[in-house]
């Protein structure tokens, strides 16, 4: 058995293919991403099955489900690949005008409406031959960044990152309460927290932060009130329509309401406890990328573009 394992030693390319399949949960999508044939992906997975005597992936209605061994492999493989590839990355010259490979950027939903088009336009102008992918940040994004499936991501700094991903803050933001101009609360000469929390609320879903439970529920509870959440969504346009057409109050950062939106306004409250929770460093706009890419000319270039566009906005 030991002899067979030595004869079937797996190479780095097999590990790279495995990691992309782990992220996509689909051999066809992995083959498309890697620009190889689907049979080549299948052969690589078979090598892993033979080597470890494990199924690696099991077919399910949602695609390929990893076995416990595959989960463990996925934890260590990114750092192995990073160590190898970082030598090449940090010693190569990046020239945007002649770059003809893929550039993939993941944006949290709160940044897509404001910045996706400008980022795409600027990159396309300076790197006209690049194949640009701008995708939505989801629960697979950090793993995809670790595996070079995604070059860089943009989200808030509250996202918990593994050791091989670097977070760099680029702009401070904070949370606000928003309501439509005709909301009854604005008819009061003065309004209190009690007045505010008597209303229904709609809350944005942000991956990695409150997708399982709105953190605002626990925060408001510490202030002695109950947050009545009636709607939750990661669709910003939908949340704005709800605010405009109902008496629901929206909890969100400044990114949720465009500066030229005249129909929605901030509910102004000045409470120390509230500010302590909603103005912390957890709401820094940040970029996320591999630790091994900190000196990569391509990542430095992408960071510069994203930084300039977000801070200009």
* pLDDT at residue number 153: 95
Tokens for 304?
A: 């510069």
Residue 262's pLDDT is what? 78
Secondary structure (DSSP) of 225-241: ---EEEEEES-HHHHHH
Q: Residues near 86 by Cβ (< 8 Å), separated by ≥ 6?
A: 292, 293
First-to-last alpha carbon distance for the chain, in angstroms, is 61
Query: Which residues touch 289 (CB under 8 Å, ≥6 apart)?
Result: 145, 151, 152, 153, 165, 166, 168, 299, 303
**pLDDT at residue 127, as a whole number:** 96
**What token pair was written down for 82?**
């990073």
The alpha carbon torsion through 16, 20, 21, 25 (nearest 10 deg) reads 160
| Per-residue pLDDT reduced to its tens digit, 179-200 | 999 999 999 888 888 888 899 9
DSSP-based three-state secondary structure for 155: strand
Q: Supply the pLDDT for residue 271.
A: 45
What are the contacts of 77-83 at 24+ separation with CB within 8 A? 77/15, 77/18, 77/19, 77/147, 78/19, 78/143, 78/146, 78/147, 78/164, 79/164, 80/12, 80/15, 81/12, 81/15, 81/16, 81/19, 81/147, 81/148, 82/146, 82/164, 82/290, 82/291, 82/292, 83/292
Q: Average per-residue pLDDT in the chain?
A: 82
Backbone angles phi, psi at 267, to 5 degrees: -85, 115
How would you write the pLDDT of the chain (313 residues) with one tens digit per residue? 444 544 456 788 888 889 888 888 889 888 887 778 889 899 999 999 999 999 999 988 778 899 999 999 988 887 777 666 655 555 557 899 999 988 999 998 878 877 899 999 999 999 999 999 999 888 888 888 887 789 999 988 877 788 889 999 998 877 778 999 999 999 988 888 888 889 999 887 776 556 665 666 767 777 778 888 888 887 888 888 999 999 999 887 776 665 556 788 888 775 444 545 554 445 788 999 988 888 889 999 999 999 999 988 6
| CB-based contacts of 276, cutoff 8 Å, min separation 6 | none
Domains and CATH numbers, the chain: 2-76 (1.10.10.10), 96-170+284-312 (3.40.190.10), 175-279 (3.40.190.10)
Instruction: Determine contact, residues 104/150, Cβ cutoff 8 Å.
Output: yes
Pick the closest to residue 142 from 58, 231, 95, 75 (CA basis): 75
What length is written for the chain? 313
Are 305 and 123 spatial neighbours (Cβ–Cβ below 8 Å)?
yes
Extended strands (E) in the chain: 57-60, 63-66, 102-107, 131-136, 152-156, 165-172, 175-180, 200-204, 228-233, 249-253, 264-266, 284-290
How far apart are alpha carbons 203 and 235 in whole angstroms? 10
Give the Å distances, CA to CA, from 269 to 69, 261, 313. 51, 20, 25
Residue 214's pLDDT is 60
pTM over 0.75: no
Helices (H), 35-132: 38-52, 68-89, 109-126
- Tokens representing 22? 């782990």
């Amino acid at each position: 058995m030991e002899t067979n394992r030595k004869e079937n030693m797996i190479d780095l390319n097999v590990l790279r293919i495995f990691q992309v399949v782990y992220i996509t949960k689909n051999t066809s999508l992995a083959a498309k991403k890697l620009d190889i044939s689907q049979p080549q992906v299948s052969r690589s997975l078979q090598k892993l099955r033979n080597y470890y005597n494990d199924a690696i992936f099991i077919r399910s209605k949602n695609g390929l489900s990893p076995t416990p061994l595959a989960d463990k492999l996925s934890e260590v493989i990114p750092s192995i690949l990073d160590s190898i590839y970082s030598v090449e990355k940090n010693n190569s010259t990046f020239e945007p005008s002649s770059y003809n490979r893929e550039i993939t950027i993941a944006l949290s939903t709160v940044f897509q409406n404001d910045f996706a088009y400008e980022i795409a336009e600027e990159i396309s102008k300076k790197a006209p031959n690049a194949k640009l992918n701008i995708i939505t940040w989801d629960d697979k994004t950090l793993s995809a960044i670790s595996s070079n499936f995604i070059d860089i991501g943009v989200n808030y700094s509250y996202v918990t990152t593994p050791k091989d991903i670097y977070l760099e803050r680029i702009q401070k933001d904070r949370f606000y309460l928003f309501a439509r101009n005709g909301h009854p609360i604005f008819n009061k000469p003065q309004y209190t927290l009690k007045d505010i929390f008597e209303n229904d609320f709609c809350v944005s879903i942000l991956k990695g932060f409150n997708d399982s439970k709105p953190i605002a529920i626990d925060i408001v509870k510490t202030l002695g009130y109950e947050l009545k959440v009636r709607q939750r969504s990661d669709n910003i346009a939908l949340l704005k329509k709800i605010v405009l057409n109902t008496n629901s109050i929206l909890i969100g950062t400044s990114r949720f309401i465009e500066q030229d939106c005249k129909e929605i306004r901030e509910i102004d409250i000045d409470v120390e406890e509230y500010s302590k929770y909603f103005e912390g460093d957890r709401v820094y706009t940040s970029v996320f990328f591999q630790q091994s890419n900190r000196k990569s000319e391509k990542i430095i270039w992408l960071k510069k573009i994203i930084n300039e566009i977000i801070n200009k906005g």
